[in-house]
Amino acid sequence: MHFTTEDLLNVTFASEPLPLVELAMALVACQRTDEQAVFGRWRGRTARELPGSRVRPLLDLLRPDGDNPQFVEPYERTLEEGLSAVRGAGPRLTAEELGRTAARAPGSASWLRALWGQDREAWDQLDGAIRAAYEVLVAPHWPRIRQSFQADVAWRARLLAAHGIKACLASTHPRAGWTGSAFEVGVRPDYEVRLAGRGLVLMPSPFWTGRPLLAEGPEGPSGAYLLMYPALTPLPLIGAGPAEGALDALLGRTRAAVLQLLVQQRTTSELARDLDISLPSVSEHTRTLRAAGLITTRRDGKAVLHSATGLGVDLLHSGG
């Protein structure tokens, strides 16, 4: 993603999470298999709670890689506004989009062809699927979704102020970095975008676990692009009650405890023992903290040693 000087001066954060965008990300997260230590139990519970037959049409549209038809995740602030926007997009759907979506769908393409053909029953079916999934995945958890979103934006704004836009964007993924004024993520699929002065809006999601996703922003081709990336604290790590402190709100209690312990160097096994959690869970937490620039990791023979960075120590001092 190539930035001009004007683009670098026009990077902003989204003001709030959006219900149907988060619903799409939640349905994607249900189908993914990564980060099992964090999302495994959540996925199992979700599979039991979702009304499978009603939600099935959404799974034809929303696939695990997140590269999905944008019409089903509109940038609206309420469920009803979002449903209206989804319906309104129907006449603008193209045959090319149908072919691409049908090729990726796990089920029969007949329902998708009916949807693209403006069949009323198909659109009613989609409306019902969105409502049913929203009631399970988003509505009961909206305060936690907002908490994760707000904590990430607060943290990344601080990072931006202290270390600049390059550090802010590089922390969105372990394989993200910069070559000159080009932001790069070393994960397939490969594509290249020139922002050409349009700017960029950053939006964290507590459900998304993959590479940063680039899409047209709320203003369409005339406005800024939108970059969605995994929030520092995924939804399963956000407690149901209020966090005990600012650091817990940002990182989640266990991840905050990992960072606090790493003021002194520790191995993965020592962290697992001290926190009474599994080795895979420790690895998930340290990977995310490392991607955010809060800890470093190095090998010493068979041992893997972790320690807090200066940025991590600064965060502990400011948010503990």
pLDDT of 236 higher than 90:
no
Cα separation, 238 vs 273, in Å, equals 22
DSSP bridge partners of 203: 228
Q: Is 260 or 314 the better-scoring residue by pLDDT?
A: 260
- Quickly state the pLDDT bin for 320 (edges 50, 70, 90): very low
Percent of the chain residues topping a pLDDT of 90: 63
**Unique residue bearing structure tokens 């922390």:** 171
pLDDT score of 250: 77
Q: What is the mean pLDDT of the chain?
A: 91
pLDDT score of 242: 55
pLDDT of 284 higher than 70:
yes
pLDDT score of 258: 92
SS3 state of residue 261? helix
Of 10-14, 170-174, 178-182, the least confident? 170-174
> What is the layout of strands, in order, in the sheet containing 213-216?
11-13, 200-205, 225-230, 213-216
Report how far apart the first and last C-alpha atoms of the chain are (Å, whole number): 36
- Mean pLDDT value across residues 287-304: 87
At residue 105, what is the residue type? A
pLDDT of 243 higher than 60:
no
Q: pLDDT per residue over 115-162, tens digit each? A: 999 999 999 999 999 999 999 999 999 988 998 898 888 888 888 888
CB count, 10 Å around CB of 145? 24
pLDDT of 319 higher than 80:
no
pLDDT score of 318: 66
Predicted TM-score (pTM) of the model is 0.80
Handedness of CA 143, 149, 152, 158 (dihedral sign): negative
Q: pLDDT per residue over 52-101, tens digit each? A: 889 999 999 999 999 899 999 999 999 999 999 999 999 999 999 999 99
